[in-house]
Amino acid sequence: MPYLNYAAIGLLRRPAITAMHVAIDQALARGLADYDQLFAACDAARTTAGRLLECDRDEVAFIGNTSAGIHLVADGIEWRSGDEVVLFDRDFPANVQPWRRLARRGVVLRWIPVRDGGYELDDVAHVIGPATRLIAVSHVNFVTGFRIDLDELCKLAHPAGALVFVDAVQSLGVLPLSVARTPIDFLAAGGHKWLCAPPGTGLFYCRRDRMDLLRWAPPGWTGYDGALDVLNKGAGHLNYELPLLPDARRFEGGTPNLLGLVGLASALEELVEVGIGAVTSRVLLLTSRLREALAERDYTVLSPDGAARSGIVSFTHTEKPSEKLYELLTTAGCHVSFPDGKLRASPHYWTSEVELDQFIDVL
């Protein structure tokens, strides 16, 4: 059965499944006796995430999902009445609702309209002004697959003193994103889509010199420097007057999803071994074949071409209703999505030629 639905839920890879089984059998089943190997996997995941993003490992925090990372920024910044946040129309609700809540603090929202399924940087330039505090953007739109130019966006934002937050859940793991070359300030991405990691895992990136801006981000008890001394050194070390950790671990809270992080560590390692360049090349090759097949069969491709392409191909039929087509495709065993009234196919590096051919045959 063709699975072209990585923009919804990625298939957990066999190495990650194996690593999690081992963790259950050899660590979780023995309680604290063998927890060290779980923490070692977490440490490895942090290092590999740093390699994937091309950042320092100390700028990476583990989160449960994209929304958690968005709230770290939306709830963590000390907002002033009159501050402005730039949002993008038809974005996924996770990257809209936390910012809308800021209206109670006097924050003003400025909206970028959708034009032909994407966004124009001229529209962004038009709304940026002295009051612009932050631009909250999805690297890839979840419906059309439009990929915005983050380099150009940063060139607009930073000279005006505005921060850039990126929801990368539809790009991280399938498209290159180097924070060493693209100076975004914050990033969040759940692991359950293109990273092919377990649900309930994800990554949060905070540029080192921006960490203190999130002064209201609620740390858990392990987010303080020296917090573990009460466990590791015994009596006399229960000290509440502790400073925050100097790195992104301050944002992680309490006990992490250790089993999920074992799977995340394996998934990240496999991606880095393959190479994000190879992943992107193959995915764009697969989506090119799919776009051609759709055009030959009376479907209208809604996703952009050229530099704005991603792993998402959104489409409709010239005559048949999309809802009915979704039912037919699902009945035929084809795994796609139906967001915002559009059909959405999203193959990954792991998608086989056989799966793509089967899907095209069903079309």
Q: Class for domain 14-273, per CATH?
A: alpha beta
Compute the mean pLDDT over every residue in the chain, rounded to the nearest whole number: 94
Question: Bigger pLDDT: 8 or 28?
Answer: 8
Model confidence at 239, pLDDT cuts 50, 70, 90, reads confident
Rounded to whole angstroms, how far apart are CA atoms 57 and 291? 38
Which residues lie across from 204 on neighbouring strands?
Answer: 61, 188
Tokens of 49: 């995430």
- 332 alpha carbon, distance to own chain's centre: 30
Please, what sign has the CA dihedral across residues 109, 114, 117, 119? Answer: negative
Which of 3.90.1150.10, 3.40.50.720, 3.40.50.300, 3.90.950.10 is the CATH number of 275-362?
Answer: 3.90.1150.10
In the predicted structure, residue 235 carries a pLDDT above the cut 60: no
Tokens of 193: 């889509």
Sequence ranges of the domains in the chain: 14-273, 275-362
In the predicted structure, residue 111 carries a pLDDT above the cut 60: yes
Per-residue model confidence as pLDDT tens digits over 257-311: 999 999 999 999 999 999 999 999 999 999 999 999 999 999 999 999 999 999 9
Model confidence at 238, pLDDT cuts 50, 70, 90, reads confident
Could you tell me where the DSSP H helices lie in the chain? 14-26, 36-53, 66-74, 97-100, 121-127, 150-157, 229-232, 258-274, 276-296, 322-331, 353-362
In the predicted structure, residue 148 carries a pLDDT above the cut 60: yes
Per-residue model confidence as pLDDT tens digits over 307-337: 999 999 999 998 999 999 999 999 999 999 9
In the predicted structure, residue 236 carries a pLDDT above the cut 70: no
